[in-house]
Amino acid sequence: MPGPPLAQAGPLVERLRRPDARITVLTGAGVSAASGVPTFRGADGLWKNFRPETLATAEAFGRDPKLVWEWYAWRRLRIASCEPNDAHRVLADWSRRFPRFQLITQNVDGLHERAFAKVTDRSAAAEATARRAPDASGVIRLHGSIWEVLCWRGCAASPPRWRDETVPFKEIPPRCLHCGDLIRPGVVWFGEPLDPEIVGAATEAADCDVFITAGTSAVVYPAAGFIDIARRKGAYTVEINPEATPATGTVDLALRRGAEVVFAELNRGL
């Protein structure tokens, strides 16, 4: 049985206590698990026996937009009743506590943004990130947001993307207010490129002193590659995940517990 996180986390806590430490955290679906948001590869993440990889693609949407939107509508409904947990709250607190803290997330659920929005006195680094993408509240969002949509055809009358928190939709698939054609979720699908500016921001953030990857199965690239960048740049690397992943053997410290438990304990130890 793994011991309590702080028993092994001495070298991490010591680094977190250094003033001006550059701390970067990369999160995945597991960080929202304690809030009740299903992860992608867990049994709970399956919907009507479809694997996410067969629904989260432009081809699937082109073939059957109603089916894909039904899945996103189900996820939006579930997420709408979820609250940020201790992992989201501690990371939001760190954006105030550490002047050079950066958060990169693969999550599209908006829970980090909700926790971050409550922090009013953010550090300069968090403010600089927030200026780049004000709607992301200082979080580097690799895969977009389930609460944003865009016109499927990209009609000239519509903005590049906009926020839509309708739950439930009156009609599925929902339609573009500007042209009446379909809208699609504002998330990055399998096979689609990430926004180069966001990848640039995440790559810069991976150049840090402490890099923590939490709640991700570490199989989806390029997100999974940031830990390698961090290691090459000399960062102390940490994984927080109750299960082993391809990254486990490569990190300086693997804490095999839930992110909501580990971040809360780390925060108490600072």
Q: Does 30 bind ligand NAD (CB under 6 A)?
A: yes
Measured CA to CA, the distance from residue 236 to residue 188 in angstroms comes to: 29
Residue partners of 127: CB distance under 8 A and separation at least 6? 138
Active site residues: 143
Q: Does 243 engage in binding with ligand NAD (CB under 6 A)?
A: yes
Closer CB to ligand NAD, 158 or 216, in the complex: 216
Cβ pair 184, 210 in contact under 8 A: no
Residue 220 touches which of ligand NAD, Zn ion, none (Cβ within 5-8 Å per kind) = ligand NAD
Contacts for 55 with CB less than 8 Å, ≥ 6 apart: 47, 67, 68, 71
Q: How far is the CB of 5 from ligand NAD (least distance, A)?
A: 12
CB 5 within 8 A of CB 242: no
The sheet carrying 101-105 orders its strands as: 140-141, 101-105, 23-27, 210-214, 236-240, 253-255
Q: Does 35 bind ligand NAD (CB under 6 A)?
A: no
Contact partner, 176, from Zn ion, ligand NAD, none, Cβ < 5-8 Å per class: Zn ion
- Total of residues contacting ligand NAD (CB under 6 A): 30
CA angle 216, 222, 64 (to 5 degrees): 80
CB of 269 to ligand NAD, least distance (A): 18
**Structural tokens at position 63:** 């073939």
Task: To the nearest 10°, report the CA torsion of 257, 139, 90, 228.
Answer: 40
Q: Please state the closest distance from residue 157 (CB atom) to ligand NAD, in A.
A: 26
By a kind-dependent CB cut-off of 5 to 8 A, residue 256 interacts, out of Zn ion, ligand NAD, none, with: none
Phi, psi of 104, deg, nearest 5: -110, 135
Which residues of the chain form contacts with Zn ion (CB under 5 A)? Answer: 151, 155, 158, 176, 178-179
Q: Mark 67-106 with x for binding to ligand NAD (rule: CB under 6 A) and - for no binding.
A: ---------------------------------------x
Among 216, 237, 254, 263, binds ligand NAD (CB under 6 A): 216
Alpha carbons 195 and 100: distance in angstroms, whole number: 23
- Best CA proximity match to 104, nearest among 232, 9, 195, 37: 195
Among 130, 217, 236, 251, binds ligand NAD (CB under 6 A): 217
- Looking at beta carbons only, is 110 or 174 nearer to Zn ion? 174
Closest CB to ligand NAD belongs to which residue?
A: 30
**Least distance CB 20 / ligand NAD (angstroms):** 28
Quick one: three-class SS letters along 88-123? Answer: HHHHHHHHHHCCCEEEEECCCCCHHHHHHHCCCCCC
By CB under 6 A, residue 40 contacts ligand NAD:
yes
Binding site for ligand NAD (CB under 6 A): 28-31, 33-34, 39-42, 52, 56, 106-107, 143, 187, 189, 214-217, 220, 240-243, 245, 258-260
